[in-house]
Amino acid sequence: AYQDFQKMLSVEKPDAVCLNVPEHLISSIGCQVMQMGFPLLAEKPPGLDISEIDQLIASAQSTGVIHQVAFNRRHAPLMVELKRMLRGESIHHIDHQFYRVGRTRYDFSNTAIHAIDSIRFLAGDFKQLRFQYQEFPELSEKAPVANFFINGSTVSGATVNMSISPITGLNTETTTLHTFNHTFVIKFILGAE
């Protein structure tokens, strides 16, 4: 057992580091791990604000260390196959519903980021997004509970609608994607919590 992660890495010399720490530590420890030369898989979010993310990017660029944030939907077989099937297609609209049951105990944006990243993986960078929140302050005194509704467009011209709800009756994620000749639907049923 170690009380100092830098000492642990120096002694153990792992092939890579999987960083699972509270969100407020991801950027600072992630930068230190890369500066020590270890490949890094960091949990999401990569930072709590743009400056933290910029620090991670700068460390990655200056060290040249292999790194990744754990946006795992990009590696789900259904998403990978859909991405393959979209080659040569022009996406014109995506709807994404991201629902959970009873997520009232912490800031749900750290989970909701998977919806935003899934759309970005399939359709490319966003041009603009508008956020609307439906808050439920009576559900938790510790953390804000809200449904998120996001709409906008991608640089490629696709329109996007996302509904992200931490307090529904299902644990599911559904993506409906329209091209000019096809409609694709992916549904992840995640089971009970």
**Paired tokens of 49:** 């604000």
Categorize the per-residue pLDDT at 137 as very low, low, confident or very high, splitting at 50, 70 and 90: confident
How does pLDDT run across 19-72, given as a tens digit for each residue? 999 888 999 999 999 999 999 999 888 888 889 989 999 999 999 999 988 888
The pLDDT, as a whole number, for residue 144 is: 79
Categorize the per-residue pLDDT at 140 as very low, low, confident or very high, splitting at 50, 70 and 90: confident
Is 116 in contact with 181 (CB distance < 8 Å)?
no
Q: Could you give the CA distance from residue 188 to residue 78 in angstroms, rounded to a whole number?
A: 9
Q: Could you give the CA distance from residue 148 to residue 116 in angstroms, rounded to a whole number?
A: 11
Q: For the chain, how many helices (H) and strands (E)?
A: 5, 9
Using the structure block, give the residue that is written with the tokens 């709409």.
151
Categorize the per-residue pLDDT at 141 as very low, low, confident or very high, splitting at 50, 70 and 90: confident
Q: Could you give the CA distance from residue 104 to residue 30 in angstroms, rounded to a whole number?
A: 28
State pTM to two decimals.
0.78
The chain-wide mean pLDDT, for the chain, equals 91
Q: How many CB atoms lie within 10 A of CB 88?
A: 6
Q: Could you give the CA distance from residue 28 to residue 150 in angstroms, rounded to a whole number?
A: 30
How does pLDDT run across 103-113, given as a tens digit for each residue? 887 778 888 88
Categorize the per-residue pLDDT at 192 as very low, low, confident or very high, splitting at 50, 70 and 90: low
